[in-house]
């Protein structure tokens, strides 16, 4: 290697090679400069070689060599040139995993320029305008980096993945092929997820982006080969033979289908399903579950394929179950997925006090309010959730309590059968029993009186001695006897040290409202927001620190008062 080769020297060598093909041996010097410790010279050599090889390809000199032995000097030259190109391309792709971020970005842009031009020149023998033969190597190298982030990921996403439709399509296709292999390590899964989470799938013709390599005019537009109705219609109208149909299908598969929306969606779905078949690192697992309902599921061809993954995640417990909640509910609500144990699992999840202290508490409260908003849910289920949430307030922080109180209030207001949880008291007093006796005497006949007595006995609960029939240990809402209990936990909150909590707890003593309480202002409350609110509060007068005003620190009888005036 010539250590003295600088960036200026590289440009001179490039010009010299273009002037006369006899100087092609200078390519070796430029190739060696790629390994130079001088970063500027190394970058200049990569850019120069890219221009030179594309120049040779345009002239038709750079092409895939044939397997036939030929002693012709031109054939020998073209074969040598192709070998140098293969060596250069391999080095460029290796640079994508370089420690230097600048060299990484340079290598990526160089490789993508070759991908864009590879289908233009016949010497490359590319079946499509997009050079996927090179791009598949780029994608595999990207996901093999130690940690794809920073400038490399930003450049790939901003300049290529979310700028060109064909780049996005072939990225999904190449990742799908990678996921079909058995050995996919955590690093590949993590890096693949970093790429996939930024994919913005086109949903209409207006959303289709530009093409890095515009489809060639000599290629017929892609059709959806998976559309059985379209295929059968073509067969019936044109009466093609089996051999003709086979040839047509081969042609369709050879063409780039990146501009077909249905095909794009199919590859997107296959890619995500393929990713989820592999073990996910803990952080990646949480990230996937958080992104599924909004960024992934709306674009899947069949979201029900996620059913097993989501039910398994929901059964894990803790934060994982919480993150799987939303996606699983979307399957149940929008895609008629049958999961009878959903609310039973949710009821068990509410008992996890760690969720009230996690960073996902806001998400949990929001989802919980949405899940329980239906008026078609049975009263025993609503009562069970109301009681379990009320029991949590005895140990929860004020931020959580300030959401739970109005949430329980809305549950009771929405389901009138649960009003007994508010009005039920302890054992009947003598006055209450006398009032009931008078009511019985007013009955027209004994049958009405007996029916009234049976009705009262079914709802009357003895709460004397501090015994609560509610069983908080069981996770079966049907067996917890919540409808036989009362919301005494919320009554006790009237003595809470936090003024906001005690004020909200008094809601149940007032006349019931006709409209639901807005929970949006209570869902974001935390210790930080409470401290910030307290710090901004201005007292109308000075806080009293003693029952008598302090005139001075030292009394006249104190000898120090002759020296200090305090």
pLDDT (tens digit, 9 = 90+) per residue, 2-53? 456 788 888 899 899 888 878 888 889 999 988 888 889 999 999 999 999 9
Domain ranges of the chain: 1-95
Residue 72 has what pLDDT? 77
Q: Are 243 and 235 in contact (CB under 8 A)?
A: no
Choose from 3-17, 124-138, 399-413 the range with maximum mean pLDDT.
399-413
pLDDT digits (tens, 9 = 90+) for 437-489: 666 666 656 656 555 555 555 444 444 456 789 999 999 999 999 998 999 99
* Range from 143-152, 243-252, 326-335, 341-350 carrying the lowest mean pLDDT: 243-252
The token duo for 262 is 């249905």
Q: Report residue 111 CA to chain centroid gap.
A: 30
Q: Which of 522, 526, 544 is nearest to 534 (CA)?
A: 526
Q: Has residue 226 got a pLDDT over 50?
A: no
Q: Has residue 327 got a pLDDT over 90?
A: yes
Contacts 24+ apart (CB under 8 A), 18-23: 18/52, 18/55, 21/61, 21/77
The token duo for 49 is 């070689």
- Indicate the pLDDT class of residue 528, thresholds 50, 70 and 90: confident
Residue 205 has what pLDDT? 77
Instruction: Read off the pLDDT of each residue in 485-500 and give the average, rounded to a whole number.
Output: 91
Give Rg (Cα) of the chain: 37
Strand partners for 39: none
- Indicate the pLDDT class of residue 112, thresholds 50, 70 and 90: very high
Instruction: Read off the pLDDT of each residue in 79-106 and give the average, rounded to a whole number.
Output: 92
End-to-end CA distance of the chain: 85
β strands within 322-405, DSSP E: none
Instruction: Read off the pLDDT of each residue in 249-265 and give the average, rounded to a whole number.
Output: 58
Instruction: Read off the pLDDT of each residue in 370-399 and give the average, rounded to a whole number.
Output: 93
3-class secondary-structure state, position 491:
helix
Mean pLDDT of the chain: 81
Residue 57 has what pLDDT? 86
Residue 146 has what pLDDT? 84
- Indicate the pLDDT class of residue 216, thresholds 50, 70 and 90: low
Angstrom distance (rounded) from CA 224 to CA 266: 10
Q: How many CB atoms lie within 10 A of CB 493?
A: 22
Instruction: Read off the pLDDT of each residue in 409-418 and give the average, rounded to a whole number.
Output: 91
Q: Has residue 206 got a pLDDT over 80?
A: no
Q: Are 215 and 129 in contact (CB under 8 A)?
A: yes
The token duo for 44 is 């200049």
Residue 546 has what pLDDT? 79
Angstrom distance (rounded) from CA 145 to CA 188: 8
Residue 550 has what pLDDT? 75
Q: Say which residue, 230 or 434, is predicted with more confidence.
A: 434
- Indicate the pLDDT class of residue 235, thresholds 50, 70 and 90: very low
- Indicate the pLDDT class of residue 266, thresholds 50, 70 and 90: very high
* Range from 55-64, 171-180, 266-275, 345-354 carrying the lowest mean pLDDT: 55-64
Distances (CA, A) of 514 to 291, 382, 521: 37, 19, 19
Residue 136 has what pLDDT? 94
Instruction: Read off the pLDDT of each residue in 422-440 and give the average, rounded to a whole number.
Output: 62
In percent, the amount of the chain with pLDDT more than 70 equals 81
Give the contacts of 382 (CB within 8 A, at least 6 positions apart). Answer: 372, 411, 412, 414, 415, 418
Angstrom distance (rounded) from CA 545 to CA 353: 38
pLDDT digits (tens, 9 = 90+) for 339-362: 888 999 999 999 988 888 888 888
Number of alpha carbons in the 13 Å side-chain half-sphere of residue 439: 12
Number of alpha carbons in the 13 Å side-chain half-sphere of residue 156: 27
Angstrom distance (rounded) from CA 371 to CA 377: 10
């Amino acid at each position: 290697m010539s250590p003295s080769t600088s960036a200026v020297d590289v440009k001179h060598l490039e010009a010299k090679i273009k002037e006369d093909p006899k100087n092609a041996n200078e390519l070796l010097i430029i190739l060696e400069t790629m390994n130079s410790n001088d970063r500027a010279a190394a970058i200049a050599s990569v850019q120069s070689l890219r221009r030179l090889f594309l120049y040779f390809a345009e002239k038709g000199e750079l092409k895939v060599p044939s397997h036939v032995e030929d002693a012709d000097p031109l054939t020998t030259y073209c074969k040598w040139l192709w070998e140098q190109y293969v060596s250069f391309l391999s080095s460029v792709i290796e640079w994508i995993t370089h420690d230097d971020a600048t060299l990484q970005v340079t290598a990526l842009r160089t490789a993508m320029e070759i991908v864009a031009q590879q289908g233009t020149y016949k010497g490359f023998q590319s079946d499509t305008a997009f050079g996927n033969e090179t791009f598949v190597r780029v994608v595999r190298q990207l996901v093999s980096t130690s940690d794809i982030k920073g400038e490399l990921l930003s450049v790939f996403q901003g300049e290529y993945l979310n700028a060109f439709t064909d780049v996005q399509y072939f990225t999904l296709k190449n990742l799908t092929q990678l996921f079909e292999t058995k050995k996919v390590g955590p690093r590949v899964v993590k890096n693949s997820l970093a790429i996939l989470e930024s994919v913005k799938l086109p949903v209409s013709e207006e959303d289709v982006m530009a093409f890095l390599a515009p489809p060639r005019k000599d290629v017929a537009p892609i059709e959806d080969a998976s559309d059985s109705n379209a295929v059968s219609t073509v067969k019936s109208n044109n009466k093609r033979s089996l051999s003709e149909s086979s040839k047509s299908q081969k042609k369709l598969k050879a063409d780039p289908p990146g501009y077909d929306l249905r095909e794009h969606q199919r590859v997107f779905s296959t890619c995500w399903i393929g990713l989820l078949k592999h073990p996910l690192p803990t952080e990646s697992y949480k990230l996937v579950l958080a992104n599924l309902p909004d960024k992934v599921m709306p674009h899947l061809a069949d979201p029900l394929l996620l059913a097993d993954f989501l039910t398994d995640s929901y059964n894990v417990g803790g934060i994982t179950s919480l993150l799987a909640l939303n996606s699983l509910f979307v399957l149940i609500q929008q895609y008629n997925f049958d999961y009878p144990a959903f609310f039973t699992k949710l009821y068990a999840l509410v008992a996890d006090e760690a969720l009230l202290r996690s960073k996902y508490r806001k998400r949990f409260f929001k989802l919980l309010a949405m899940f329980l908003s239906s008026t078609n849910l049975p009263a025993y289920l609503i009562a069970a959730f109301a009681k379990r949430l009320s029991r949590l307030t005895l140990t929860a922080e004020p931020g959580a309590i300030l959401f739970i109180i109005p949430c329980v209030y809305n549950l009771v207001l929405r389901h009138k059968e649960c009003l007994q949880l508010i009005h039920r008291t302890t054992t009947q007093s003598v006055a209450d029993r006398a009032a009931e006796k008078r009511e019985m005497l007013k009955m027209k006949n004994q049958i009405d009186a007996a029916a009234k007595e049976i009705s009262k006995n079914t709802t009357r609960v003895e709460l004397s001695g501090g015994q609560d029939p509610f069983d908080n240990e069981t996770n079966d809402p049907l067996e917890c006897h919540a409808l036989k209990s009362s919301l005494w936990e919320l009554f006790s909150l009237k003595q809470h040290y936090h003024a906001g909590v005690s004020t909200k707890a008094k809601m149940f003593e007032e006349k019931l409202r006709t409209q639901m309480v807005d929970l949006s202002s209570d869902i974001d409350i935390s210790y930080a927001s409470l401290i910030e609110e307290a710090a901004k509060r201005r007292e109308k007068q000075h806080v009293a620190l003693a029952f008598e005003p302090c005139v001075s620190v030292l009394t006249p009888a104190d000898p120090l008062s002759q020296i200090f005036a305090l």
